[in-house]
Structure 1
Amino acid sequence: MNLPNLLTMLRFALIPVYIAVFANGYVVTAFFIMVGAGVTDVLDGYLARRNGQVTRLGIMLDPLADKLMLITVFVSLVVAGMISWWAAIALLLRDLGMIIVSAYVHFKGKLTVPSNWMGKLTTVLLYVAITMLFFEWSYGEHMLWVVIVFSYITTVMYFNHFRSLNRSH
């Protein structure tokens, strides 16, 4: 197992830590745990590409770790009354759909689509919206809805790329 994949595994391990910290009322600390997970995401991708350590396992596990952390964050924000159920459902449906499709694609041996600039921009915008929500800044949920719409557009683009990539194989 290479360093980028170990960093991805660390993100999985941070999920229960985030839950425990958030559930005990340490919202700002939980926010920084989530940010730390985001930093490992950027770092593992950079290291994998720089060192030629991109693996099929990493391509599958990296987005899974991200999605599970974000699902955890959104469930915690709903439970705390910081976002609406509708926003959480919209995000959860998209992320669960992506997890299920990614697993199916992986186990069927089909080619997966690595993240692109649209996916990365969606993630950055999502973190902006989450920051606004955690610190209760104005228009946090409005920003979240903008990101939700953008994320569905990005998902359609990924799906089209996946179809064209696997048509040729």
Structure 2
Amino acid sequence: MSQNDVVTPRVLTVPNLVSFVRLLLVPVFGWLIATGHDGWAVVVLAVSGASDWLDGVLARRLHQVSRLGQLLDPAADRLFILVTLIGLVWRGAVPWWLLAVLVARDVLLAGLLVRLARAGWGPPPVHLAGKAGTFALLYAFPLLLLGQWADPLGSVAFVVGWACALWGVGLYWFAGALYLVQARGLLRDRTATA
């Protein structure tokens, strides 16, 4: 978001509609991955990834950056990541530790958001590192799903998927550390002015 973007309290915006559709796709994706419809699951993930980019572009271009949109977009990302990971762990495509590492970061940040809210602060602005980590993870998961397919596609998708997943985890935690530093500064400033 640039400095010229004004955050509005509007609810009915085009970007918010895109985010609502993304949220509706989460259970569809969960059902597809649980029932072994991998091809359609990959399509839904691709649509979700494209719409993640689209809602941000539309919000800026149409000057429809809203508080609701700032909450919906990361919520849809987190839900897709969680449902995808649970599905991939359940199917044996990825080890459980990957789920644990990503959920631990989100639990840590959820506690941070509660602490900030109690001090009168909203969520910190999203960092580029967080967006890049989410982007890498949202690309890693369909590739890891395709990694279960026959060679040569399966082998290539597996290697590229794990490369994206490891980069995504690193960026995800790096962004988490940036949020902690930012929150610490906000909370210290609040204490100093109190």
Q: What TM-score do the two structures reach when normalised by structure 1?
A: 0.84
Q: Does 1:29 align with 2:47?
A: no
Q: What's the CA shift string for 1:95-115, capped at 9, x where partnerless?
A: 344355446656865233332
* Alignment map for 1:10-49 (pairs within 5 Å): 10-49=21-60
Q: What letter is aligned with 2:89?
A: V
- Percent identity over the alignment is 30
Q: C-alpha distance in 2, partners of 1:98/1:145?
A: 20
| 1:112 counterpart = 2:123 | yes
Q: 1:159 corresponds to which letter in structure 2?
A: L
Q: In 2 relative to 1, CA 105–4 (structure 1 residues): closer, same or farther, beyond 3 Å?
A: farther
Match of 2:144 in 1: 133
Please say if 1:87 is aligned against 2:98.
yes
Question: Residues 113-166 of structure 1, C-alpha deviation per residue, up to 9 Å, x if partnerless?
Answer: 332321222122223322331111343445423421221111111232344456
What residue is the counterpart of 1:56 in the other structure? 67
CA contact (8 A) 2:59 2:65 kept: yes
Post-superposition Cα deviations, 1:54-81, rounded to whole Å, max 9, x if no partner, equal 1222212211111011100000000000
Kept in 2: contact 1:126–1:147 (CA 8 A): yes
Distance 2:59 2:184 in 1: 25
Instruction: List runs of 5+ in structure 1 lacking aligned partners.
Output: none
Select the structure of larger CA radius of gyration.
2
Deviates more, 1:100-109 or 1:82-91: 100-109
Alpha-carbon spacing, 1:163–1:53, altered in 2? closer, same or farther (3 Å): farther
Query: Tell me, what secondary structure is at the counterpart of 1:54?
Result: coil
Given that residues 91 and 148 in structure 1 are in contact (C-alpha distance below 8 angstroms), is that contact kept between their aligned partners in structure 2?
A: yes
Letter of the 1:154 partner, please give it.
Answer: A
**Number of aligned residue pairs:** 169
2:177 matches 1:156: yes
**Over the residues paired in the alignment, what is the CA RMSD in angstroms?**
2.4
**Equivalent residue, structure 1, for 2:77:** 66
TM-score (norm 2): 0.75
